[in-house]
Chains A and B, each alone.
Chain A
């Protein structure tokens, strides 16, 4: 009987083997779908979905160091914004040059600057004589493509806090009875400890919407030599650093990620600037209510100091080759603001997580920068500190050589640190941060170049300057003007 029993075609063992093979196919396919979801998940745009830093995953505490990762090599000097900051220099230059186009007609500080930096005089002249007229002509021809991007930027910039009209001795301090002729200095409340206050301030900043918050003792070297207009101070008189600017609280928020990848023309700095600006004003109000002095410094608008080195001091990131700060959570994709205060705080420690070593080998930003403003060379000594120096005049000239929103931000878009916080890029970040040999930095840079190539840098220019109005990536659907607006 046993011998006559027909053999089953599909035995238990065959079933196990078939199930195993099917499971392998399903399991591996599942990983493909998992990857797809991870890639498109907006939650991996760190800081943008929640704003509050709750989705930050980098173990920052493991990378703290006692001294900031920059080198002080000689006598230091504070920056003179009137000549060394292009946004301040160029309007003055234009105003004087149009009246009398001779070096001798310029204010003394500009004469001195241009004598020391003759290349910048040529670049500034090129800006007003060549670039701006061409830009205006191309704006007529091609500008409509970027209409929605400009509208988006305009919307983000629409809310602006009132300008500071009084000097720090008055404007920074809290008064009660404001506006009734009975102003009285608010008495500061006694605080239990600087550490507790720091924790409180950080929590409040996050609640106000800050993704990044750090605290530093203010290094006077980072304060401008002269105030910029609109700060309640005389721009022609040297800025005496008030004694109540003891600490600097830095807050930062990311720029919207998808437009940022479509730079230099679709992204805008205004989205993050405006949010960081409002957070800084609110945080200053919070501190003042406790009876302490506080003054918001909001770049892109109204400030008395350089923000990037304060961010480094506050342990938020390291300086990159492009001269901007790279943070572990957002890469360089953020805009920051500062509140100077005398509320007793416990400063954060700086961090060092491999950016310097990575930037030494990477150079992608320098290769992609259309203007050549980012050096491919070594660090240089600037005002007593060794750093990578951005050629700001070249950078700013490119701002006037592309359409869409003001600025460029390409160095942010192409940076390997400007990537989503998904499994792939977090693995790369962890690898590069924990590699003391720097071997992985070379490999990761090569992979970045292979996998994420950009257009030819010349293509980013306007057509009048030999370009194609190119952007690093396609804009998101909601900024494609041609899909929404019918032009006659």
Chain B
């Protein structure tokens, strides 16, 4: 059994997720961005999509389906990038001071 399909892998993933959350929070505070619930939701959704894309590519390669890996990588990858840029713009929005 590889480490990547063990319970320990998900334990490490959990720790990394906590560190990502902490990093995003610090980054937002430094830039004066208030992270509302919907912004957190957007972040969660984007990371889920990015994770799905990479897992899809990996799974397809593991299944010996290179065409699925390539097409899935391009399709979901482009979607991830576009939504990532949109998400970034939304997150970076600050309230204008009059």
Interface residue ranges, A against B (CB under 8 Å): 13, 16-24, 26-41, 420, 422-424, 450-453, 473-474
Q: Are B19 and A23 in contact (CB-based, < 8 A)?
A: yes
Do residues A31 and B26 form an inter-chain contact, with CB atoms below 8 A? no
* A34 contact from B9, B22, B61, Cβ within 8 A: B9
Q: How far is the CA of A39 from the CA of B55 in the complex (A)?
A: 9
Shortest distance from the beta carbon of A130 to any chain B beta carbon, whole Å? 35
CB–CB A20/B27 < 8 A: yes
10 of the cross-chain contacts (CB-CB < 8 Å) are: A13-B29, A20-B23, A23-B19, A30-B9, A34-B55, A35-B57, A35-B59, A38-B58, A38-B59, A40-B64
A452 CA to B9 CA, complexed, in Å:
29
Partner of A35 from the list B16, B24, B62, B64 (CB cut-off 8 Å) is B62
B12 contacts chain A at the CB level, 8 A cutoff? yes
Shortest distance between the CB of B35 and any CB in chain A (Å): 13
Closest 10 CB pairs of A and B: A20-B23, A39-B62, A35-B58, A35-B55, A32-B54, A451-B68, A40-B62, A23-B19, A35-B59, A36-B58
A451 touching B62 in the complex, CB below 8 Å, given contacts A27-B13, A38-B5: no
Q: How far is the CA of A229 from the CA of B72 in the complex (A)?
A: 52
Q: Which B residues are in CB contact (< 8 Å) with A37?
A: 2, 4-5, 58, 62
Contact, CB under 8 Å: B22 / A32: no
- What is the 8 Å Cβ interface bit string for chain B, positions 16-56, against chain A (1 contact, 0 not)? 11011111101101100000000000000001001110111
Report the minimal beta-carbon distance from B31 to chain A, rounded to whole angstroms.
10
Q: A282 → chain B, closest Cβ, in Å?
A: 32
Question: Does the CB pair B26–A36 fall under 8 Å?
Answer: no
Q: Is the CB of A29 within 8 A of B54?
A: yes
Assess whether B2 is in contact with A24, with CB atoms less than 8 Å apart: no
Contacts of A29 in B (CB 8 A): 54
User: Per a CB cutoff under 8 Å, which of B4, B23, B57, B68 touches A30?
Assistant: B4
Known: A24-B23, A41-B5. A31 touches B58 (CB 8 A): yes
Q: Is the CB of A30 within 8 A of B16?
A: yes
- Give residues in B with beta carbon < 8 Å to A: 2, 4-5, 9, 12-13, 15-17, 19-24, 26-27, 29-30, 47, 50-52, 54-65, 67-68, 71-72, 75
Distance A41 CA – B4 CA, assembled complex (angstroms): 11
B27: chain A residues within 8 A (beta carbon) = 17, 20
Residues of A within 8 A of B24 (CB): 20
Q: A282–B24 Cα gap in the complex (Å)?
A: 62
A27-B17, A31-B54, A34-B58 known; A420 and B63 CB under 8 Å? yes
- Interface SS majority for chain A: helix
Given A20-B26, A36-B59, A39-B60, answer yes or no on A28-B54 (Cβ-Cβ < 8 Å): yes
Nearest chain A CB to B75 CB, angstrom units: 8
Q: Which residue of B lies closest to A451 (CB)?
A: B68
Decide: A21 and B23 in contact? CB cutoff 8 A. yes
For B51, the chain A residues whose CB sits under 8 A away are: 27-28, 31
Do A39 and B63 form a contact, CB below 8 Å, given A27-B20, A32-B58, A450-B71?
yes
Known: A13-B26, A17-B26, A26-B16. A423 touches B9 (CB 8 A): no
- A32-B54, A424-B56 given as contacts; is B5 within 8 A of A473 (CB)? no
Nearest Cβ on chain A to B59's Cβ, whole angstroms: 4
Whole-angstrom CA separation of A259 from B24 in the bound complex: 48
Given the known A-B contacts A16-B26, A17-B30, are A39 and B19 also in contact in the complex, defined by CB atoms under 8 Å? no
A residues near B21, Cβ cutoff 8 Å:
20
Residue of B nearest to A12 (CB): B26
Residue of A nearest to B50 (CB): A28
Q: Cα distance A295–B75 when bound, in Å?
A: 54
Please name all residues of chain A whose beta carbon is closer than 8 Å to the beta carbon of B63 when the two chains form the complex.
39-40, 420, 422
Minimum CB–CB distance from B67 to chain A (whole Å) comes to: 6
- Closest Cβ–Cβ distance, residue B20 to chain A (whole Å): 5
Q: Complex: how many Å from CA A29 to CA B12?
A: 12
Residues of A contacting B12 with CB < 8 Å?
30
Interface contact B59-A423, CB-CB below 8 Å: yes
Nearest CB of chain B from residue A16's CB, rounded to whole Å: 4
Q: How far is the CA of A17 from the CA of B62 in the complex (A)?
A: 33
Q: Are A452 and B62 in contact (CB under 8 A)?
A: no
Residues of A within 8 A of B61 (CB): 35-36, 39
- A33 engages B58 (CB within 8 Å): yes
B94 → chain A closest CB, angstroms: 18
Q: Are B67 and A31 in contact (CB under 8 A)?
A: no
B18 CB to nearest chain A CB (Å) = 8
CA A333 to CA B18, docked complex, whole Å: 42
Docked Cα-Cα span, A38 to B2, in Å, equals 10
Q: In the complex, are the beta carbons of B72 and A451 less than 8 A apart?
A: yes
Q: Bound state CA distance, A292 and B88, in angstroms?
A: 72
Interchain CA distance A450-B50 in the complex, whole Å: 20
Report A-chain residues with C-beta under 8 Å of the C-beta of B19: 19-20, 22-23
Residue of B nearest to A474 (CB): B64
A368 to B96, CA, bound (A): 59
* A38 to B13 CA separation, bound complex (whole angstroms): 16
Cα of A26 to Cα of B56 in the assembled complex, Å: 16
- B78 to A: closest C-beta gap in Å: 14
A23 near B20 with CB under 8 A, answer: yes
Cα A305 to Cα B83 with chains together (Å): 56
| Distance, CA A20 to CA B23, complexed state (A) | 4
> Do B59 and A424 have beta carbons less than 8 Å apart?
yes
CB distance from B17 to the nearest CB of A (A): 6
